[in-house]
Amino acid sequence: METDDIIARISQKLKAQGIEPRPEKIASKINRLVTEFGVPPSEAERTILQDTFKEHGIEQPKPSAPSSDAVGIGTLVPGEWVTVEGKVVSVTEPPSPAVAQTGVIADDTGAVRFVIFAKNAPALLRVGEWFRLESAVVDEFRGLANLKIHAGTTVTPINDDRPLTPEITRIADLRPGIASVTAKIVQDWEVRHDRMLQTGLLGDESGTMKFVIWKGGSDRKLEPDTAYTFAYVPVEEYNGRLSLTIDPASCTPVDSEIAVSAGPAGSEEPMPLFEGKIISVRHVGSETVRESGIIATPDGAYAFTIWGDAQIPALEQGNWYAIEGATKGMFRGAPRISINQDAVLSPVEDRFLPPPPATPVADLAPGIATVRVKLAQEWESRSERMLQAGLVGDETGVIKFVIWDGEGVEQIQENIVYTFFYAAVEEYNGRLSLDLTHATPLPDEDADIEVSRGGKSISGALVHIASGSGIVKRCPVEGCNRVLSRQNFCPVHEFQPGFQYDLRIRGTLDDGQTAHNLLIQREAVEKLFSMTLAEAQDIAENQPLGADEVARQLGDRALGRYLTVTGREFEGLFIAFDAKWLFFDPARHTALINRAGGDLA
Amino acid sequence: MTERFQNYVREPAKRVFAAEMRDARHSFRVGDDEKSPTYLLLPTGERCNRVFIVGSLTQKERVGEQNSMYRARVADPSGTFFITAGSYQPEAMQQVARIEPPAFVAVVGKPNAYETPDGKVLISIRAETVTPVDRDIRDLWVLDAADATLDRIDAFGDSQDAETARAEYNPNLASYKKMVYDALTAIRQ
């Protein structure tokens, strides 16, 4: 549908320049840019239009000629120059000194936020009055249409107060932007922010939504259980949830009874009836969370949360239950089962649960896992509540662990291999750690494992490749190994025609915080590029550009790519004996989506 | 040829989405000698002297006297970066010359703020290197930029950069979080 709109707009603009549009060709270009190259639709539209104008030798016209006919505010599309006539229904304190005024302007088709920048600002608008704005620009600010009134905008007051009735939107139909609602205040929450005057929940027949009143306005509060009409209020999105920012001065009590329906659920998936064994359960007892713990099900073990509104008896550790009406969602990057008021639970007979297989440390992912590890390093505890912290490891690698103090919790001992059943694998800032506090340890005093200590690994983008990368010649004198010049000259041993070749990459691996000087050694370079030293030597000796050609080929394939390198840091130079390309990780993608908004606030 | 590395600390390349870069306008210099680095202050409260971005090169054109410079547009899921590569960046200029849009590219460069005649501040990136990459790298970069942006939002506190960002931009951090969310959900559909 969006594609059709873009085609229509492009066609119209081409026609205005006397070019006959070809919708199929435009559609295929949109598809290529948007689908294949992930270009935002607005940028694709602009690109296609400009490229087509260029093909026809037309000088780039202004975004669109300022039209003198006023358009409906509800129809504004970012990227256009427009003339509108509307009533200023509110003005707000400018968010920064660069802004002279912000507010909301409305006509009978809708409402939009406007902004006037301090630099070269035309006259400010007065609330409650009508204005004609010629040559204003619709742009996008934080994902919403925003009307920009700039030095070139002609602002003319309209001296008659036209009737304007806000159109009421049902709460379930609200989208980020400006809207008017009629709703009843159903909950008054405790205020936890200095600048906040009141917050709570309001609702209508279609659902409920959070509202906020900031201090600095009329300091009037809304009465619980009272219905109001809120005209032209901002609907904002935070963490994937909408809320209304209300100015009590612009709301009017209404005399109608509203039957408020309960709010919509989150992004949890309902689960079919399942059976599981309670591995551990802890009483939390807060207003929202009653208990939490770990449950083993036939398809794996999960963390679970019993919410405050759940209507089920207390769970017994070690018992089996059949659970119906639970939901599954993601919490902090790991799957989690939620048991709330809709869940029904019945005890079922105890039965054999095969011990879960151990996961190699290198393969751990956020969630619940069983590991077979040995203490590799013990760290000084940094908090009273922390019983023990450090590294545990197996043949595949090491991982940070923590054990929190608590009843019956013990430290782990050196030189003993433990199997920890149902440990919590947590992720923080992209790094995994194990919480062994509630895991069940099983020491195996006869066993031993070789913990892989490896080198240090760092990941980042290769943002620079230095000269001296690729194939180089080294001085063959015992213990020298210096890189020779093009003329085979060693700074110490002079001309050395009997040189040896080597392959390496010198450059900068940048993780966004630190730019590491990096040297990737031959074995790692060969593996990374599937190019042996012999093949590189063949290119260097037989192609016109010689060694430069090797450097160019490696550079083209490595620059701007992500790598994980393993090795040791030595006087500010990271020497890598292993290097791997980094690939897209769907689990990291999911975890980030949760972190950016799928999670609880 | 020696194997010594320069003893200055290279500025890391920050990961920034186009929509955040577009909101930036405050830049400052640390120290007053000619080589002192200039930083652009990001609205999420961190200075940046260099950026690493991956997106789709949608257009390029030669501009300037004797066509001495390339100007290009690179789109990420949140918006568009403006890239320049002039004769002082011969490597980047040759690389841009070889790439036909549309194409995924990785760009390392230095952000510059400049003011247009009508008082708008535009940010352009003077490229050091521009390399063609594939969609997988672009998607990986979106994760990387998302991670870095969320880290900045989470760390937004009492640091000097955060204080300045608060005064200069009064940023709506929730909207940047939304931008990250939108970028993440725009890839791999």
Beta carbons of A431 and B147 less than 8 angstroms apart: no
| Average pLDDT of the segment spanning A431-441 | 87
Contacts (Cβ under 8 Å, ≥6 apart) of A545: A552
Look at residue A63 in the predicted model and tell me its pLDDT.
Answer: 43
| Average pLDDT of the segment spanning A10-32 | 91
Q: Residue A499: helix, strand or coil by DSSP?
A: coil
H/E element, A378:
strand A367-379
Please judge whether A597 and B181 are an interchain contact, meaning their C-beta atoms are less than 8 angstroms apart: yes
Measure A154 CA to nearest chain B CA, in Å.
15
The hierarchical CATH code for the domain A457-581 is 2.40.50.140
Look at residue B2 in the predicted model and tell me its pLDDT.
Answer: 39
Range in A77-81, A272-276, B102-106 with the lowest mean pLDDT: A77-81
Which string of DSSP letters, residue by residue, matches A5-19?
HHHHHHHHHHHHTT-
Task: With cut-offs at 50, 70 and 90, classify the pLDDT of residue A242.
Answer: confident
For A197-218, write each residue's pLDDT tens digit: 899 888 888 778 889 998 877 7
Percent of chain A exceeding pLDDT 90 equals 32
Task: With cut-offs at 50, 70 and 90, classify the pLDDT of residue A421.
Answer: very high
pLDDT at A550 exceeding the cut of 60:
yes
CA A333 to chain centroid: 12
Classify domain A73-158 at the CATH superfamily level: Nucleic acid-binding proteins (2.40.50.140)
Look at residue A479 in the predicted model and tell me its pLDDT.
Answer: 67
pLDDT at A264 exceeding the cut of 70:
no
Strand B103-115 to B79-86 pairing: unpaired
Measure A401 CA to nearest chain B CA, in Å.
23
Q: Is the CB of B181 inside 8 Å of chain A's CB atoms?
A: yes
For A556-595, write each residue's pLDDT tens digit: 999 999 999 988 776 678 889 889 999 999 999 999 999 9
Please judge whether B169 and A96 are an interchain contact, meaning their C-beta atoms are less than 8 angstroms apart: yes
| Average pLDDT of the segment spanning A439-447 | 89
Closest CA relative to residue A591, chosen from A381, A297, A265, A366: A366
Look at residue B46 in the predicted model and tell me its pLDDT.
Answer: 95
pLDDT at A266 exceeding the cut of 60:
no
Look at residue A64 in the predicted model and tell me its pLDDT.
Answer: 40
Measure A517 CA to nearest chain B CA, in Å.
8
Beta carbons of B45 and B165 less than 8 angstroms apart: yes
**In B, residues 41-100, which contact A (CB 8 Å cutoff)?**
50, 52, 54-56, 58-59, 73, 75-80
Q: In Å, how far are A197, A364, A558, B149 from A458, measured between CA atoms?
A: 47, 18, 16, 20
pLDDT at A514 exceeding the cut of 90:
yes
**Domains defined for chain B, CATH in brackets:** 13-182 (2.40.50.140)
Q: Quick one: CATH architecture of A269-348?
A: Beta Barrel (2.40)
Measure A280 CA to nearest chain B CA, in Å.
32
Mutate: best of A28, A29, A32, A39, partner B, most B CBs <10 A: A39
Q: Quick one: CATH architecture of A361-453?
A: Beta Barrel (2.40)
pLDDT at A30 exceeding the cut of 90:
yes
Tokens read off for A96: 């920064």
Contacts (Cβ under 8 Å, ≥6 apart) of A182: A168, A204, A227, A228, A229, A230, A254, A256, A258
Look at residue A239 in the predicted model and tell me its pLDDT.
Answer: 60
Domain ranges of chain A: 2-55, 73-158, 171-253, 269-348, 361-453, 457-581
The hierarchical CATH code for the domain A171-253 is 2.40.50.140
**What gap in Å lies between CA A21 and CA A512, rounded to an integer?**
45
Please judge whether A463 and B118 are an interchain contact, meaning their C-beta atoms are less than 8 angstroms apart: no
Look at residue A428 in the predicted model and tell me its pLDDT.
Answer: 66
For A388-415, write each residue's pLDDT tens digit: 888 899 888 888 898 988 888 889 998 8
Beta-sheet strand order (sheet of A334-339): A269-270, A327-331, A334-339, A300-307, A289-297, A274-283, A320-324, A344-348
Domains A171-253 and A457-581 share a fold: yes
pLDDT at A337 exceeding the cut of 70:
yes
Beta carbons of A517 and A525 less than 8 angstroms apart: no
What is the predicted ipTM? Answer: 0.92
Range in A35-39, A189-193, B180-184 with the lowest mean pLDDT: A189-193
Task: With cut-offs at 50, 70 and 90, classify the pLDDT of residue A429.
Answer: low
Look at residue A600 in the predicted model and tell me its pLDDT.
Answer: 41
Range in A9-18, A363-372, A444-453 with the lowest mean pLDDT: A444-453
Please list the ranges in chain B whose pLDDT falls under 70.
1-7, 189
Residue of B nearest to A487 (CA): B1
Please judge whether B102 and A39 are an interchain contact, meaning their C-beta atoms are less than 8 angstroms apart: yes
pLDDT at A120 exceeding the cut of 80:
no
Beta carbons of B18 and B51 less than 8 angstroms apart: no
- Please identify which residue in the block is written with the tokens 């840091």: A569
Task: Tell whether the torsion through CA atoms of A433, A438, A440 and A441 is positive or negative.
Answer: positive
